[in-house]
């Protein structure tokens, strides 16, 4: 069974924990896919929203953070120190954000959108793993909030195909959510106190290159400041139902991080809000940022970010970050 919004979820948004993600933007391509347009913005937590120096509402390929992620077909990370870059998005966040990520979403080679995420202080990390000349994955860019021993050891860590969360995502081409990292045999990079801080890891394949993801984005979520108030990775399959000549995606599995704990469910009875979001995300075929006014969300939730993940022309997964 798909997990019902248990007490954990109903109380999750009563007094929500501060999340690592403080700011979200969604950029989608225009009709002829020559530019990306900013279509939605949401702020969470104590971020101070200031008037930007230059209000940018659309960018060409290669321009700004979103355009760079599109051009490079890879996640771009800008750190707090690089204020010049941060000015190009719509938030002046010199004090509020410690880093900003731009995550491109592709359907085959076609850009479907770029999600820009601003991270604040706390515990957590974002790592981009790319293939080196020995077919091993190494971190090519990263941002760490706390987690000093992780940051250090990661510089010297490599994963062959199939090893660790990055190697597993790279081999399968599918996202992966790993729970209870401190006790997991699969998460073997940890040592020292950092281990206790990290609760879950979310690995996302980014782009495609010779049959494998071009890179892997790994988000480390802590119990103190989780990536989002509620994180769900949905597994989908094409159902027999056909809508407008196209098969409709069906939700067959959910891995959830809520309030620091992770649970896994599967089955055929999704909640109404899950079905609605899946249908909206599938029909848009793009990242989607919806507020509680625009869609049915669990009580207390402000907004939800859905990132569709395609493999072989098919929507296979959706990552949902709810705040």
Partner 1 sequence: MNENRYVEIANLTKAYPNPFGQDIAVVKDFNLILRKGEIVSVIGHSGCGKSTVLTMLAGLNPITSGSLIVDGREVAGPGPDRAVVFQSPCLLPWMTSFENVMLGINQVYSHGTKVERKQICEYYLSIVGLADSMHKYPREMSGGMQQRVGIARAIALKPRMLLLDEPFGRLDSLTRMDLQDVILEILDRERVTTMLITHDVDEAIYMSDRVCMMTNGPEATVGQVLKIPFARPRVRSEVLDHAHYYDFRACLLSFLQKQEHRKAAHVASFSKKLLDAPVEFVEDTVKEPAKEPVGV
Stretch in the footprint of partner 1 (CB under 8 A) among 46-54, 130-138, 196-204, 260-268: 130-138
Stretch in the footprint of partner 1 (CB under 8 A) among 77-85, 179-187, 290-298, 307-315: 179-187
What is the smallest separation between the CB atom of 264 and partner 1, expressed in angstroms? Answer: 18
Under the binding rule (CB under 8 A), the answer on residue 87 touching partner 1 is no
Please check whether residue 309 is in contact with residue 319, taking contact to mean a CB–CB distance below 8 angstroms: yes
Under the binding rule (CB under 8 A), the answer on residue 17 touching partner 1 is no
Helix runs in 73-106, H state only: 83-86
User: Hey, what long-range contacts does 302-307 have (CB within 8 A, 24 or more apart)?
Assistant: 302/13, 302/42, 302/44, 303/24, 303/42, 303/44, 304/277, 305/24, 305/26, 305/42, 305/115, 305/228, 306/277, 306/280, 306/281, 307/103, 307/105, 307/115, 307/204
> How many C-alpha atoms does 210 have within 13 Å on its Cβ side?
3
54 or 183: whose CB is closer to partner 1?
Answer: 183
Note the residue count of the chain.
323
Stretch in the footprint of partner 1 (CB under 8 A) among 160-168, 202-210, 270-278, 315-323: 160-168
Under the binding rule (CB under 8 A), the answer on residue 131 touching partner 1 is no
For partner 1, the binding residue among 33, 188, 246, 314 (CB under 8 A) is 188
Under the binding rule (CB under 8 A), the answer on residue 209 touching partner 1 is no
Could you tell me the two tokens for 75? 């996640």
For partner 1, the binding residue among 160, 246, 266, 268 (CB under 8 A) is 160
Under the binding rule (CB under 8 A), the answer on residue 134 touching partner 1 is yes
16 or 164: whose CB is closer to partner 1?
Answer: 164
Under the binding rule (CB under 8 A), the answer on residue 88 touching partner 1 is no
171 — phi, psi (to 5°)? -70, -45
Under the binding rule (CB under 8 A), the answer on residue 284 touching partner 1 is no
Please check whether residue 212 is in contact with residue 170, taking contact to mean a CB–CB distance below 8 angstroms: yes
Stretch in the footprint of partner 1 (CB under 8 A) among 139-147, 180-188, 228-236, 301-309: 180-188
Under the binding rule (CB under 8 A), the answer on residue 211 touching partner 1 is no
d(CA 138, CA 154): 8
For partner 1, the binding residue among 192, 242, 266, 294 (CB under 8 A) is 192
For partner 1, the binding residue among 7, 14, 185, 293 (CB under 8 A) is 185
d(CA 101, CA 121): 14
Under the binding rule (CB under 8 A), the answer on residue 190 touching partner 1 is yes
Under the binding rule (CB under 8 A), the answer on residue 164 touching partner 1 is yes
For partner 1, the binding residue among 189, 262, 287, 301 (CB under 8 A) is 189
What is the smallest separation between the CB atom of 161 and partner 1, expressed in angstroms? Answer: 5
What would the 3-class secondary structure string for 167-196 be?
A: HHHHHHCCCEEECCHHHCCCCCCCCCCHHH
11 or 149: whose CB is closer to partner 1?
Answer: 149
DSSP string over 280-303: HHHHHTS-EEEETTTS--STT--E
d(CA 312, CA 203): 18
> How many C-alpha atoms does 100 have within 13 Å on its Cβ side?
32
Could you tell me the two tokens for 60? 């060409």
Under the binding rule (CB under 8 A), the answer on residue 298 touching partner 1 is no
For partner 1, the binding residue among 33, 162, 237, 299 (CB under 8 A) is 162
Binding site for partner 1 (CB under 8 A): 133-136, 149, 152-153, 156-164, 183-185, 188-192, 195
């Amino acid at each position: 069974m798909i997990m019902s919004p248990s007490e954990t979820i109903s109380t999750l948004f009563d007094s929500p924990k501060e999340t690592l993600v403080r700011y979200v933007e969604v950029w989608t391509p225009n009709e002829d896919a020559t530019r990306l347009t900013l279509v939605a913005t949401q702020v969470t937590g104590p971020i101070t929203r200031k008037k930007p120096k230059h209000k940018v509402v659309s960018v060409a390929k290669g321009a700004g953070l979103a355009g760079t992620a599109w051009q490079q077909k890879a996640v771009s990370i800008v750190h707090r120190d690089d204020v010049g870059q941060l000015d190009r998005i719509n938030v002046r966040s010199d004090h509020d954000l410690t880093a900003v990520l731009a995550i491109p979403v592709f359907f085959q080679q076609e850009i479907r959108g770029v999600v820009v995420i601003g991270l604040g202080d706390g515990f957590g990390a974002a790592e981009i793993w790319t293939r080196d000349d020995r077919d091993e994955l190494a971190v090519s860019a990263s941002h760490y909030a706390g987690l000093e021993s992780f940051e250090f050891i990661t510089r010297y860590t490599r994963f062959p195909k199939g090893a660790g969360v990055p190697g597993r995502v790279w081999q399968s081409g599918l996202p992966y959510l790993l729970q209870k990292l401190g006790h997991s045999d699969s998460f073997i990079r940890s040592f020292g106190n950092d281990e206790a801080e990290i609760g879950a890891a979310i690995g996302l394949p980014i782009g495609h290159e010779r049959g494998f993801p071009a890179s892997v984005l790994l988000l480390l979520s802590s119990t103190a400041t989780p990536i989002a108030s509620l994180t769900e990775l949905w597994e989908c399959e094409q159902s027999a139902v056909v809508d407008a000549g196209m098969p409709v995606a069906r939700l067959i599995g959910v891995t959830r991080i809520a309030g620091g704990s992770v649970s896994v469910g599967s089955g055929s009875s999704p909640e109404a809000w899950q079905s609605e979001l899946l249908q909206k995300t599938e029909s848009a075929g793009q990242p989607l940022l919806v507020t509680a006014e625009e869609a049915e969300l669990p009580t207390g939730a402000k907004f939800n970010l859905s990132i569709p993940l395609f493999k072989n022309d098919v929507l296979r997964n959706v990552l949902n970050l709810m705040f």
